[in-house]
Amino acid sequence: MKWKIPLYKISTDTDDIKNIKKVLRRKMDWAIGPEIPEFEKKIAKYVGSKFCIAFNSGTSAGHAALLAANINSGNIIVPSFTFIATSNWPLMVNSKPKFSDIEEKYLGLDPQKLLHSITKSTKAIIPIHYAGLACNIEEISKISKTKKIPLIEDCAEALGATVNGKSIGTFGEMSVFSFAPNKIISTGEGGAVCTNSEKFYKKLKLIRSHGRISNEKYFKTNSQPNYITVGYNWRMSSMTAALGLSQFDKLEKNIKLRRTHAKYFSKRLTRFSEIKLPLEPNDRKHVYQLYTIRLENSKIRNSLQKFLSKSGIMTKIFFDPVHKYGFYKINNSYQKNFLSTTNIVSNQALSLPLFPTLTNEEKSFICDKISQFFEENSG
């Protein structure tokens, strides 16, 4: 279906094209070029971590983080209210995802329920920062330190978000970012791991590139490298990193636009008691990778989604809980936890179109159609 207003559009300009052309025209270093460490340094500085390692996707970045943490057994606590990659990571390292419930304010892991989910077999905790808003990460971080369980933040949706002035991605041993098409900045596909640990940084570099000690001069020397462990081909390409650099230059501008659009939606939609709007507490900076409203139940939510679709407005349910997907549903061992809040929220959530280049006319049209829906269905 061709949407009048899609869920997202990638913010791009001539600088993106210029950077990619620069790599193409030099006719070498497409795989291991100077753009990659430059991009990594910018992300590390922005997040506030000592190290950043770029990957070809957020999924490979998360997989690598668990490998670097040497996790290969037990369980890893994750929310079910997330993209499926978060819960698949444990399975990739011979561990198991253990679903813990979320809380209603920030829609992230509930610290109190997290405490009850921890067992002697728990090897790590992976919270997500839903839609661009920091979860209860300060409390979760305290729990991980007290219990001496590694904390790996899934920051795929929240580059630029803060809590009490501190950037998300700096509360645990490692943090995972995504640069997929609908994220705050996009390289088409891409990801990164940030960390303050030199030990993890060195392990991640080996994991990313075949277990090879040195990468930078691989295509510029006839000497043979040394391979000291099993690794993967998860490198970010030079062209991808070049796009990341020009996208990074637009980061703060695009976050500002996202926040402006979100403010407009909240102002227009606040009069509807049937809609629960996204929160933005004073101690947090929301970057609005998603603008998710919540309706009373799935019947109203689905009816609104269908109504908006007829007008060419794309919306999406973020997220159906992972424990209800085919693979996880069949395997009953993944359904032992009682996920009451997860089930309630997933039946209410509906994400509206939100992207930096969203026009005033498009925003007005979306709000007008939502108003029309409730006017026609009142009483």
* Range 251-376 has CATH code 3.40.190.10: no
Omega of the bond prior to 319 within 30 degrees of 0, cis? yes
Beta-carbon contacts of residue 68 (< 8 Å; ≥ 6 apart): 174, 193, 200, 203, 204, 207
287 contacts 259 by C-beta, under 8 angstroms: yes
DSSP letter for each residue of 119-136: -TTEEEE--B-GGG---S
**Predicted structure pTM score:** 0.96
Closest C-alpha among 176, 191, 117 to residue 149: 117
pLDDT of res. 332: 57
* CA dist., res. 169 & res. 287, Å (int): 14
51, containing H or E segment: strand 51-55
pLDDT of res. 217: 65
CA 300 to chain centre: 27
68 contacts 174 by C-beta, under 8 angstroms: yes
195 contacts 153 by C-beta, under 8 angstroms: no
* Range 14-248 has CATH code 3.40.640.10: yes
- The long-range contacts involving 177-182, CB below 8 angstroms and separated by at least 24 positions, are 177/43, 177/47, 177/58, 177/61, 178/57, 178/58, 178/61, 179/58, 179/244, 179/247, 180/57, 180/58, 180/156, 181/8, 181/10, 182/7, 182/8, 182/289
Residue 213 pLDDT class (50, 70, 90 cuts): confident
DSSP letter for each residue of 3-16: -SB-S------HHH
165, containing H or E segment: none
pLDDT of res. 254: 98
Average pLDDT, the chain: 95
327, containing H or E segment: helix 326-330
293, containing H or E segment: strand 291-294
Q: For the segment 124-137, what is each residue's pLDDT rounded down to a tens digit? A: 999 999 999 999 99
Query: 291-294 and 349-352: which strand pairing?
Result: antiparallel
Residue 329 pLDDT class (50, 70, 90 cuts): confident
Q: Report the range of poorest mean pLDDT among 106-110, 136-140, 335-339, 342-346.
A: 335-339
Residue 162 has pLDDT above 60, yes or no: yes
pLDDT of res. 326: 86
Question: What is the distance in angstroms between the CA of the first residue and the CA of the last residue of the chain?
Answer: 32
Where in the chain are the domains? 14-248, 251-376
3-state secondary structure of 96: strand
Q: For the segment 15-49, what is each residue's pLDDT rounded down to a tens digit? A: 999 999 999 999 999 988 999 999 999 999 999 99
3-state secondary structure of 157: coil
Residue 335 pLDDT class (50, 70, 90 cuts): low
Given this chain, do its domains 14-248 and 251-376 carry the same CATH topology?
no
Q: Report the range of poorest mean pLDDT among 54-63, 107-116, 256-265, 336-345.
A: 336-345
pLDDT of res. 225: 82
Residue 167 has pLDDT above 60, yes or no: yes
The mean pLDDT of 1-9, rounded to a whole number, is 94
82 contacts 319 by C-beta, under 8 angstroms: yes
* CA dist., res. 152 & res. 174, Å (int): 5
Q: What tokens appear for 250 in the block?
A: 């637009």
* CA dist., res. 72 & res. 305, Å (int): 41
| DSSP H helical ranges for 69-136 | 84-92, 111-117
pLDDT of res. 216: 60
pLDDT of res. 92: 98
Query: 51-55 and 191-195: which strand pairing?
Result: antiparallel
Identify any residues that bridge with 40 across adjacent strands, giving them in sequence order: none
The strand order across the sheet containing 122-125 reads 96-100, 75-79, 122-125
365 contacts 313 by C-beta, under 8 angstroms: yes
